[in-house]
Amino acid sequence: MTPAEIVTVMLLVAGCFFFLAGTLGLLRFPDLFCRLHALTKADNLGLGLIALGMAVHIASPWAALKILFIWLFTLMASSTSCYLIAKFQRGRAPKPSEASAE
Amino acid sequence: MSVWIDSLLAVLAVFLAVRCLLAPTLPQCVFLFFAFGLALALAWARLGAVDVAIAEAAIAAGFLGVLLIDALRDFAAPRTHGETAQKPHFLTQVLLGAGLVVFLYVALEAVWNVPDGGGLTALAADNLPRSGVDHPVTAVLLNYRSYDTWLEVGVVLMALLALFATGGKELFRRPVVGAVDPLLRQVILFFTPVLFLVGAFLLYLGKTEPGGAFQAAVLWGAAGILLHLGGWPVFAAMPRWTRQVLLTAGFGFFLLLGFIFMSGGSALFEYPVAYAGVLILIVETLAALSIAAALTAIFAYFNGMKAASVENEIPDPS
Amino acid sequence: METYQIYSLASAVLFVVGLAGIFAARHFFKKIIATKIMGGGVFLCFVSFAERDALAFADPVPHAMVITGIVVAVSAAAFALALSRRIQQLTGQESFPVDE
């Protein structure tokens, strides 16, 4: 294996680990706010690592730029939708501190 | 290794489909359907059908998913009229199950032993230089079988007209602007030009690589839907004639082109080789605009359905 | 076993799952989704045979037909969804009445 391949595999494995952690959080955390936290934080990092791994693998600046844009747009979309879901939930349920204290 | 990945993906798609149909609540059913669509899109990427993967993820999972979520507003409410339906008779269930098992066997046998017809790959490849584009799927869609694509644009238009026929007086009700979150409005403002540019890029890319009119249309339609949700009902705000021109441009231009070709003595949609590339690009652009407008209109109609029905609600006969 | 064989077998299973869903599901919503799953099975069958007939590239004709089919299926599903919403709004029914 070339050094580039080793770096790619390491980045992909690390990305998958964060995705796994985020999914575990989604399934196991008690309320919506914790789940959103797990999903947006861990999955965005995981996606970033996977995108970086793919950029190293492709090794073409133009394709790497496109991959970077994919990551940035996903970041924006996921953080906005996370904010909207949390805001909606807050409007109809008790405050996060009260809900998680139960 | 690759056999394992494919088997896993196939099992996942079937599993998600079963879970989706067995889901106890409708929201769960919708989100499992989303996941099923994305698993199918991955399967298509594995099969080398990148165009189909984009179309599936964008239209079948994305756009239909948006419509399904919007429809949940009507269906997700707790039922007031009670579950009156009874379980079917035991014998009916057994017969249905047995019939399905037999049918499954026949279907598996059919796909396993399908005769080798050779396909049309060689024919498509031979004619590629004369088609005006370099990507075989685009060549089939817009040159060899442009009849299909023409009628498809017509089907989307028909679906929109049929939607209008289902009722509700006010076709495009404007959403309440004050209720939209300011952050959401800013993000939508940022994403609108991005979606438009990426759509145009995909449209042009269709000449040589996976991409093309439908993929571009969905991105432009997504921009229209987002703007509608952000309190700018772009499509509804247009003058009536602009809406009509936008909706019919793709279908009409196709028809005009076919008419010109036929009056010139060639077959319907038999592009002259020298101009095929340019004509296909124009047709694709207009078709994409029409489909995007129709998708936006379908969503706008869906989004206004609940509000429109309140006024002319028929009282319950009981 | 070749890649296309795995997916063509899966497509037959998906078709039957969707068919069973159409018979078994009561709610309009689920019936529409069941038809979509059935359609997904048919499309998967098409694309898997396109892969079998690949030379330099996969057979583009089934690909183009599936893209067309996806858009048409979604249009039909949107219409069905609008009809079922309208029925729900006007009559309150969410499934077909059952004959006694």
Q: Give the distance from residue A9's alpha carbon to the nearest chain B alpha carbon, in angstroms.
A: 16
Q: Check residue B316 and give its pLDDT.
A: 41
Angle at A69 between CA A10 and CA B186, to 5 degrees: 130
* C99 domain residue, yes or no: no
| Interface mutation vs chain A, best among B181, B186, B188, B189, most A CBs within 10 Å | B181
Decide if pLDDT at A102 tops 50: no
| CA distance linking residue B287 with residue A50, whole number of Å | 36
* Helical packing angle, C28-52 and B26-46, nearest 10°: 10
* C37 domain residue, yes or no: yes
Closest CA to A15 of A58, A64, A67, A53: A53
Residues of B in Cβ contact (< 8 Å) with C95: 85
Q: Are the Cβ atoms of C37 and B148 closer than 8 angstroms?
A: no
| CA distance linking residue B49 with residue B59, whole number of Å | 15
Q: Greatest CA span in chain A, whole angstroms? A: 55
| CA distance linking residue B215 with residue B219, whole number of Å | 7
Low-confidence ranges of chain B (pLDDT < 70): 1, 76-88, 168-179, 306-318
| CA distance linking residue C74 with residue B302, whole number of Å | 14
Contacts of A93 (CB under 8 A, 6+ apart): A32, A99
Beta-carbon count within 10 A of C19 CB: 20
Identify the domain containing residue C23 by its residue range. Answer: 3-91
Q: Check residue B292 and give its pLDDT.
A: 93
Give residue-wise pLDDT tens across range A47-98.
999 999 988 888 788 888 989 998 999 998 888 888 888 888 887 765 555 5
Q: Return the SS3 of B114.
A: coil
| CA distance linking residue B48 with residue B145, whole number of Å | 21
Q: Check residue C99 and give its pLDDT.
A: 59
Burial class (CB in 10 A: 0-12, 13-18, 19+), A76: middle
Q: Enter the tokens of residue C94.
A: 């969410």
Q: Are the Cβ atoms of A73 and B190 closer than 8 angstroms?
A: no
* C56 domain residue, yes or no: yes
Q: Enter the tokens of residue B194.
A: 């991005």
Identify the domain containing residue A39 by its residue range. Answer: 3-101
Which CATH number is C26's domain given? 1.10.287.3510
Q: Which of B184, B190, B191 sits opposite A84 (nearest CB)?
A: B184
| Interface mutation vs chain C, best among B30, B74, B280, B284, most C CBs within 10 Å | B74
* Helical packing angle, B146-165 and B240-263, nearest 10°: 150
To which residue do tokens 């077959």 refer? B267
Q: Check residue A93 and give its pLDDT.
A: 61
Give residue-wise pLDDT tens across range A17-48.
999 988 888 888 888 888 888 888 888 889 99
| Interface mutation vs chain B, best among A73, A82, A85, most B CBs within 10 Å | A73
* C98 domain residue, yes or no: no
* C28 domain residue, yes or no: yes
Split into its structural domains, chain A has a count of: 1
CB B142 within 8 A of CB B280: yes
Interface predicted TM-score (ipTM) of this complex, two decimals: 0.92
Residues of C in Cβ contact (< 8 Å) with B71: 29, 81, 84-85
C residues 61-100 near B, CB within 8 Å?
Answer: 61, 63-68, 70-79, 81-86, 88-95, 98
Burial class (CB in 10 A: 0-12, 13-18, 19+), A98: exposed
Residues of B in Cβ contact (< 8 Å) with C6: 3, 6-7, 10
Residues of B in Cβ contact (< 8 Å) with C34: 21
* C29 domain residue, yes or no: yes
Task: State the Rg of chain B over Cα.
Answer: 23
Decide if pLDDT at C73 tops 90: yes
Task: State the Rg of chain C over Cα.
Answer: 17
Per DSSP, helices labelled H in chain B are 2-22, 26-46, 50-55, 64-75, 90-112, 121-127, 136-139, 146-165, 182-205, 213-229, 234-237, 240-263, 276-311
B vs C: CB pairs below 8 A:
259
| Interface mutation vs chain A, best among B66, B73, B184, most A CBs within 10 Å | B184
Q: Which of B181, B190, B194 sits opposite A84 (nearest CB)?
A: B181
What number is the average pLDDT over the span C24-47? 90
Reported as a pLDDT band with limits 50, 70 and 90, residue A13 is very high
Q: Check residue B267 and give its pLDDT.
A: 77
Residues of B in Cβ contact (< 8 Å) with C86: 166-168, 305, 309
| CA distance linking residue B295 with residue B228, whole number of Å | 12
Split into its structural domains, chain C has a count of: 1
Q: Give the distance from residue B281's alpha carbon to the nearest chain A alpha carbon, in angstroms.
A: 24
Closest CA to B140 of C14, C87, C46: C46
Q: Are the Cβ atoms of B121 and C54 closer than 8 angstroms?
A: yes
Q: Are the Cβ atoms of A76 and B183 closer than 8 angstroms?
A: no
Task: State the Rg of chain A over Cα.
Answer: 17
For C40, phi and psi rounded to 5 degrees?
Answer: -60, -40
Q: Give the distance from residue B285's alpha carbon to the nearest chain C alpha carbon, in angstroms.
A: 16
Q: Enter the tokens of residue B187.
A: 């993000």
Give residue-wise pLDDT tens across range B262-276.
888 777 777 887 788
| CA distance linking residue B219 with residue B62, whole number of Å | 10
> Is chain C in touch with chain A: ≥3 Cβ pairs within 8 A?
no
Q: Check residue B205 and give its pLDDT.
A: 87
Q: Which of B40, B44, B81 sits opposite C92 (nearest CB)?
A: B81
